Amino acid sequence: MDDELLQDFLVEAGEILEQLNSQLISLEQAPDDKDLLNAVFRGFHTIKGGAGFLSIDPMVALCHRTEDIFNLLRNGERHVTQDLMDTVLPVLDVLNDQFERLQSGDELDAADPALLRALEHYTTPGDGPAPAATPSAEPKPEAVAAAGNEDITDEEFEALLDALDKPGGGSSDKPAATNNSDGDEINDDEFEALLDDLHGKGQFKGAPPADNTEDKPAAASGSNEPEEPISQDEFEALLDDLHGKGQFKGAPADAGQSTTPPAASGAGGAGGGGGSPSAAPAPEPEEPQSAAAMVAKAAAGNKERPAGETSVRVDTARLDEIMNMVGELVLVRNRISRLGEHAGDEELSKAVANLDLVTSDLQLSVMKTRMQPIKKVFGRFPRVVRDMARSLEKEINLEMIGEDTDLDKNLVEALADPLVHLVRNSVDHGIEMPDVREAAGKHREGTVALTASQEGDHILLVIEDDGGGMDPDKLRQKAVEKGVMDADAAARLDDNECFNLIFAPGFSTKDQISDISGRGVGMDVVKTKITQLNGSIEIDSAPGKGTRLSIKVPLTLAIMSTLMVRLKDQLFALPLVNVSEIFHLDLTKTNVMDGQQVIIVREKTLPLFYLKRWLIKGEANTPLPSEGHVVIVHMGNQKIGFVVDELIGQEEVVIKPLGALLQGIPGLAGATITGDGGIAIILDVPGLMKMYT
């Protein structure tokens, strides 16, 4: 298959799939929204068209049947029910899966016949097991009446008759129903399905849950312009040549009798239409009154030229490369500005200031090209929450705020799993059963709120639920049971520290392991992942009120704001995200508790460490200075003080991986080149703490 075409198709299909994901969920809330039904129909229709063009038959088969269902829905011949959604939503999962396989160049398996059959079941009128909940579950008379009009084919009619003949009509999972309610042809898939049925139950229920919506770079939504196969001049020449031969006879004389205006003839015909009950129905005029949003969107698009011409597709590897080079530029900039300071030349300073500005802008612009709205991740939550709420029988309202907040593509991808995990946790462990909530005087429906916002060079993500919250005592008890700490240590923990216990490896408070949100390995994995992104995660909870998790991550992974410090004659960079404050301290005024030197800052006791002792060779037992600079760093709710020799200042650094020799040493995150051309090690604060404390 032509790869270029395939990519072109995938870009479009990916966008549509993403839209469908949210549209389908909205549909459950607004099952009669015509515009929405039309949009969903078109989504499947368009994917089918493209897949058909590329002969991706399994995809066509699925989309085709789903499209049929939505055609019935939008024509009001069927209504959205939960059961129907339960059948249609897995289609999206399968499509997403197919999409990924196509993307990675794999062959597609034929669409699951059980799923196809389940879908067909909904396009067969008069089927029995239409849920009782449906007010208008196609009563048979209606279907029969429909047979008289043009919207039902003979096949369908036959199928209907078959269905009527059969006891327990239309349960299409029975082999009998599979075969040949619709007539003469049985294809391989159906045959296989039949075999499956005979051998045992279909595997449809086992369809994997939604996995991921593909993350495609925004920039990739562009397109290739069709190429001119022939130059303009050549073309003109060719035309001239041909023209002479009279290829075109010129317009036929306008005899005033063009093709009959169809409207007129249609009307005339209808007028005379003897016994026919209805004239040709006018096409539905709904489209023009589509949602204002859609019109607005289209209008916005129209201002420019067709979307296809304004964007190009860029390989993400190329963006990474550019980002890397900008990183190098930032380093050179740092270097030059350092040199400029020393030179004291005014002209040079001006030039340097200029360079500084341009570099910053460039850095920002490049960063923006890599930005994607967090929507990419958020988009999957309605579905996740919906499915979980359904299976747990909870009532949950999901609120999402700040979906348009942009962050680096890599971050979006990296955040996806942790966020899904946290949301699942909130739904599974946070929100109580409706009856429990009611008994506690709360609304039956729980709320999970997802918020994303940019704070300076960080993104703040908050997952908040109004569920049962966490009980610190229970956590303490659990910690002791699990052997995470002894009873005394547990008792000394303040509430906030208790909440942080859930991030400890192997800590799960749910007595019963649910297969929905992991097995207690989750939270520490989440924490590790966030930490890897130079981010931090904080938790706060009030029993009976709910839990709030906040995640802070930098806007980008490639460039990091750091606090440069000096230990002896070496430079080290502390990620600014971990730095809470710095101050000068008279080190004689420290105390010792449990053999650990501590300082008291605003009535809080913080352990104090000498970074030099850890990191500089031969300084492990160096005597303490009488005073020094202290950097308070934090991770989670834990804070500690580091004593350093000198504070250099804040610097943007480009993270370079460590050489093979240094790889994997705990506490070191990477290295960077400093403004004066030296090398500084970037410290990994959580790693350091794990290693040395």
Nearest Cα neighbor of 554 from 365, 417, 371 is: 371
b/e string for 486-525 if b means 16 or more Cβ within 10 A? eeeebeebebebbbbbbbbeebbbeeeeeebbbebebbee
Going from the C-alpha of 526 to that of each of 253, 523, 536, the distances in angstroms are 76, 5, 10
Burial of 365 (0-12, 13-18, 19+ CB in 10 A): exposed
Name residue, tokens 């000068």: 584
Segment (H or E) for 86: helix 82-103
Q: Which is nearer to another protein, 268 or 505 (CB)?
A: 268
Name residue, tokens 């994303």: 452
| CB neighbours of residue 146 within 10 Å | 18
Going from the C-alpha of 586 to that of each of 441, 614, 620, 643, 648, the distances in angstroms are 54, 21, 21, 11, 19
Query: How far is C-alpha 352 from the geometric centre of its chain's CA atoms?
Result: 41
| CB neighbours of residue 259 within 10 Å | 6
Angle at 295 between CA 293 and CA 297, to 5 degrees: 70
CB 113 within 8 A of CB 189: yes
Measured CA to CA, the distance from residue 646 to residue 630 in angstroms comes to 9
Q: What is the DSSP secondary structure assignment for residue 201, as one 8-state letter? A: -
b/e string for 336-363 if b means 16 or more Cβ within 10 A? bbbebeeeeeeeeeeebeebbeebeebb
Measured CA to CA, the distance from residue 217 to residue 213 in angstroms comes to 12
- H helices then E strands: how many in the chain? 24, 18
Nearest Cα neighbor of 7 from 82, 106, 75, 103 is: 103
Going from the C-alpha of 296 to that of each of 290, 331, 379, 541, 623, the distances in angstroms are 10, 44, 22, 42, 70
Give 438-501 as a 3 state SS string: HHCCCCCCEEEEEEEEEECCEEEEEEEECCCCCCHHHHHHHHHHCCCCCHHHHHHCCHHHHHHH
Q: Which is nearer to another protein, 236 or 486 (CB)?
A: 236
CB of residue 233 vs another protein: minimum separation in angstroms?
A: 13
Segment (H or E) for 596: strand 596-601
Q: Kindly write down the DSSP assignment for every residue of 89-157, as one continuous string.
A: HHHHHHHHHHHHHHHTTPPPPPPPHHHHHHHHHHHSTT-TT--TT-TT---HHHHHHHHHSTTS-HHHH
Measured CA to CA, the distance from residue 359 to residue 590 in angstroms comes to 44
Q: What amino acid occupies position 479? A: A
Nearest Cα neighbor of 11 from 290, 316, 302 is: 316
Under 8 Å CB-to-CB from 346, ≥6 apart: which residues?
Answer: none
Measured CA to CA, the distance from residue 337 to residue 609 in angstroms comes to 33
CB of residue 24 vs another protein: minimum separation in angstroms?
A: 17
Instruction: Give the up-direction half-sphere exposure of residue 108: CA atoms within 13 A in the CB hemisphere.
Output: 23
Measured CA to CA, the distance from residue 516 to residue 390 in angstroms comes to 12
Under 8 Å CB-to-CB from 321, ≥6 apart: which residues?
Answer: none
b/e string for 610-641 if b means 16 or more Cβ within 10 A? bbbebbbeeeeeeeeeeebbbbbbbbbbebbb
Going from the C-alpha of 511 to that of each of 277, 436, 520, 522, the distances in angstroms are 67, 18, 11, 15
| CB neighbours of residue 534 within 10 Å | 25
Name residue, tokens 């059948």: 87
Q: Which is nearer to another protein, 3 or 455 (CB)?
A: 3
